[in-house]
Chains A and B, each alone.
Chain A
Amino acid sequence: MIMGKEKFIPIIALMILLIGVSSSVYVYATTIDSEYIDINGQEYTIDQLLFIGAERSFEEFSGVALDDLMIKIGVTDPEKHEYTIIAADSYQKTVSWENMKNGLLTEDGVSIFSDLPKSFRVKDIVKIEVI
């Protein structure tokens, strides 16, 4: 028996609402709440990172230079790695060393790149993986 539109549409709509609700519960349960940013296995506060790295600013944004930060915290051969920036809500973006040379970390914990679109702004960063 083929299900008619009059039954099919409300059922799909209900399934969508269930998916939305269950995903919201999952996201709420798995969101990380941390005051620290884990970089290459070591935890730092934003204030520590602002103190360690050189200042960088472009347009209306200012913060600590991401490339200088990686060098200062001791990443070996930084130009040979890629960097995955991870937010508390699991949003993550992987960027190259060239991008890091145009990137900064603001005091609010947001990554901003002058050479990448807005979707590369990762808010509430909890981890930077060196890969």
Chain B
Amino acid sequence: MEKMKLFAGILVFGSLWGFSECIIGSTLHNAQLPAGAIMTGLFAVTLMIMSRMLYKQRGMQFGMGIVAGMLRLFSPFGSNLGFFICSAIAIMAEGIIFELIWHRTSLDLKELKPLRMSSGMGVITAYCCYVGGYIVTQVLTPVLSSAGFYIENLIVFIPQMLATGLLAALIGGIIVPTTLSLKKLNLAIKERLYYPATIGVSVLCWFVVIANTIFVSSA
């Protein structure tokens, strides 16, 4: 696959992921809903599986995590740059964890045809991405801040992290078979529309998030 085509794919899927984290994730959080588990189980896993189905490239989801994490770092719902570093770190970690789990899965995803396989992979992926991302951010955020990291703070909270991941796992168990069933639709985009569409959608995601930043900080 052309490098430019793959790069545009990383940009558009990463931007959509970051956009959903910034706008929908923050809305869910403000509504006192378990935003982290819903965002990972529903949006992050769906976008990573879709990109794996469409592009059949390993490493792409790591790139998407970096793009989405960058967008989250500049998100509108915090007034200073380091404010959402914890969410940004978790998103980037989710991209890496996905790559590790799906590394040995074939690129045509044929072995995931049976429902128990696709549903099982959904549970494993969503749970590990959510809990793994949570643990990584609980370690790295204090390390990068002035407070420092204390291992006991992490250890006592592990049962809570394992418990909140259950919702992400259940969502993942449903969403992965559903997303994989879209394969039958044979989604494709005309060659001449590919770059305008991918770059247009990416620019729109970043524009809305940045415009929201300016709107929220001036309100």
Q: Which residues of A contact B194 (CB under 8 A)?
A: none
Q: Which residues of A contact B116 (CB under 8 A)?
A: 9-10
Min CB–CB distance A15 → chain B (angstroms): 9
Q: Which residues of A contact B114 (CB under 8 A)?
A: 6
Given contacts A9-B120, A24-B163, contact A94 B153 (CB under 8 A): yes
Q: Which residues of B contact A89 (CB under 8 A)?
A: 160
Tell me if B156 counts as interface (CB < 8 A to partner A): yes
Q: Give CA–CA (A16, B43) in the complex, Å.
A: 20
Q: Give CA–CA (A118, B144) in the complex, Å.
A: 13
Instruction: Please determine whether B82 and A117 come into contact, CB atoms closer than 8 angstroms.
Output: yes
Instruction: Please determine whether A10 and B146 come into contact, CB atoms closer than 8 angstroms.
Output: no
Chain B, interface size: which category?
Answer: 35 or more
Instruction: Please determine whether B86 and A12 come into contact, CB atoms closer than 8 angstroms.
Output: no
Q: Give CA–CA (A117, B86) in the complex, Å.
A: 7
What residue of chain B has the Cβ atom nearest to residue A21's Cβ?
B166
Q: Which of B84, B124, B142, B163 contacts A27 (CB 8 A)?
A: B163
Given contacts A12-B124, A16-B127, A16-B169, contact A6 B117 (CB under 8 A): yes
Instruction: Please determine whether A120 and B145 come into contact, CB atoms closer than 8 angstroms.
Output: yes
How many A-B contacts at CB < 8 Å in the complex? 106
In B174-217, which residues have CB < 8 Å from any A CB?
none
Q: Which residues of A contact B27 (CB under 8 A)?
A: none
Instruction: Please determine whether A9 and B169 come into contact, CB atoms closer than 8 angstroms.
Output: no
Instruction: Please determine whether B138 and A119 come into contact, CB atoms closer than 8 angstroms.
Output: yes
What residue of chain B has the Cβ atom nearest to residue A31's Cβ?
B160
Tell me if B147 counts as interface (CB < 8 A to partner A): yes
Q: Give CA–CA (A26, B184) in the complex, Å.
A: 42
Instruction: Please determine whether B117 and A93 come into contact, CB atoms closer than 8 angstroms.
Output: no
Binary interface profile of A, 80-106, with partner B (CB < 8 Å = 1, else 0)? 000010000111111110110000000
Tell me if A17 counts as interface (CB < 8 A to partner B): yes
29 contacts between A and B (CB under 8 A): A9-B121, A9-B124, A10-B120, A13-B121, A13-B124, A13-B173, A16-B124, A17-B169, A19-B162, A20-B127, A20-B169, A23-B159, A23-B162, A26-B163, A89-B160, A90-B160, A92-B156, A92-B157, A93-B147, A95-B147, A96-B147, A96-B148, A98-B146, A115-B146, A116-B146, A118-B84, A118-B86, A118-B87, A119-B137
Q: A13-B169, A90-B157, A120-B145 are in contact. List 20 more A-B contacts (CB 8 A).
A: A9-B117, A10-B120, A13-B119, A16-B123, A16-B169, A26-B159, A84-B150, A89-B160, A91-B160, A92-B152, A92-B153, A92-B157, A93-B147, A94-B147, A94-B148, A94-B150, A94-B153, A117-B82, A117-B144, A119-B142
Interface set of B (CB-CB < 8 Å, partner A):
78-79, 82-87, 111, 114, 116-117, 119-124, 127-128, 137-138, 141-142, 144-148, 150, 152-153, 156-157, 159-160, 162-163, 165-166, 169-170, 173
